[in-house]
Chains A and B, each alone.
Chain A
């Protein structure tokens, strides 16, 4: 089965619509978070949901389009963090196949792991381009680490490791809650169904 058949069989119209909703969730969660004054980003919730329900390639496309639109609407800085988004999409897809969305604690664990990876990938980008400053509220951590004598890359990495695992852990938990309560008929429209429900539950 070559790649074109695989794409055509798995990227069905419901998948495309979910990608659109995923982009909307990615962009919209920023507003929700501001409304509720939570000190997190939650800007990859859409990508994670698409990865779980549709697979890696749709999640990657969702992530790229979300970052492009975010750099148009919010800040051009988002465009440079596409690698982070790709890593999140890839890992979320792989973790779904290993069944990490079948129980809440596995989901959180998976999220923390993805958060660590995301921090590792985004640290060089953030350090080289922005010196660790994102004006998003976590900058004081970088300042602290720098003031205690760490090199810039180290400081940014530690800041990332302090905030990203929590953020992604909560993102994965939210994704788990959303996926576990979804009506079966709705979930079955998407190809990732097999990895999200155990055989004997309804």
Chain B
């Protein structure tokens, strides 16, 4: 089991590399790279979650695209016939392009967000002097969604307790809209009160920040950073010079 938990910087560079490769490599190479990555994640400690997300999101999308492109492709000239079913050659190629690209890109993005949590990303940005407010929005945006959903289901519960009719969609819709707007006002007011109180704690300060526990790269992190930066520079130079 690989237990390596990367620092935000190498993972970010890795994502950049993946995005570049997703748009430049050929179909077969993309598939090969994706398979290598998937194998790597099978043996990684966080890999199960990554693989599960890929299974849930990427595979259905790729299958749908593959079917769609292969069978409905009007401008094709060549048709293959396999077991009596007519397939489009161009469609297959286009499907292969898109599917391989999506597989590579999505694997990279899903890996990125699973290897570094939003909390760690936020604290790394914070220690690099990004305005506190942006870090605040990043981390609290997600937390607010949870509270929003929670409040909404709580209100539904109390409404049902009161005996409000919530059977069909129309009634549910009316009930939710009626409570959505006051809920929004409450959330806006409470969060602006919070912001005003936080301003008194120094959130608008422009002085240099001290960080108690800076998030530094480990040795492996540095090696990977140098490697990937090297590859990216090489690709950029090659495309500029050609």
Contact = CB atoms under 8 A, between A and B. Distances in A.
Interface string A148-186: 011100000000000000000000000001100111001
A135 B60 contact: yes
Contacts of B142: 27, 69, 73
Contact of B144 (A23, A35, A71, A183): A23
User: What bracket does the count of chain B residues touching chain A fall in?
Assistant: 35 or more
Contact of B137 (A32, A65, A142, A150): A65
A176 to B, nearest CB: 12
3 interchain residue pairs of minimum CB distance: A23-B141, A24-B144, A17-B195
A53 B200 CA distance: 23
Contacts of A57: none
6 contacts: A13-B199, A14-B192, A131-B68, A131-B94, A178-B184, A189-B192
Contacts of B173: 36, 38
Nearest to A151: B75
A23 B144 CA distance: 9
Contact of A177 (B98, B110, B181, B192): B181
A186 B189 contact: yes
B137 A182 contact: no
Interface of B: 57, 60-61, 64-65, 68-69, 72-75, 94-95, 98, 101-102, 105-106, 109-110, 113, 118, 133-134, 136-138, 140-142, 144-145, 147-149, 152, 169, 172-173, 176, 180-181, 184-185, 187-189, 191-192, 194-196, 198-199, 203-204
A18 B183 CA distance: 14
A27 B184 CA distance: 14
A190 B185 CA distance: 13
Interface residues of A, number: 53
A36 B188 contact: no
A22 to B, nearest CB: 8
Contacts of B149: 28, 31
A27 B118 CA distance: 15
Nearest to A62: B137
A79 B188 contact: no
Interface in A27-47: 27-28, 31-32, 35-38
B233 to A, nearest CB: 24
Contacts, number: 140
A85 interface: no
B98 A131 contact: yes
Given A27-B141, A178-B181, A32 B61 contact: no
B26 to A, nearest CB: 17
A36 B172 CA distance: 7
Given A21-B187, A76-B109, A130 B61 contact: yes
A84 interface: no
A147 B64 CA distance: 16
Contact of B64 (A75, A79, A139, A181): A139
Contacts of B145: 23-24, 27-28
Contacts of A72: 113, 118
Given A13-B204, A131-B94, A183-B185, A61 B137 contact: yes
Nearest to A185: B189
B178 to A, nearest CB: 11
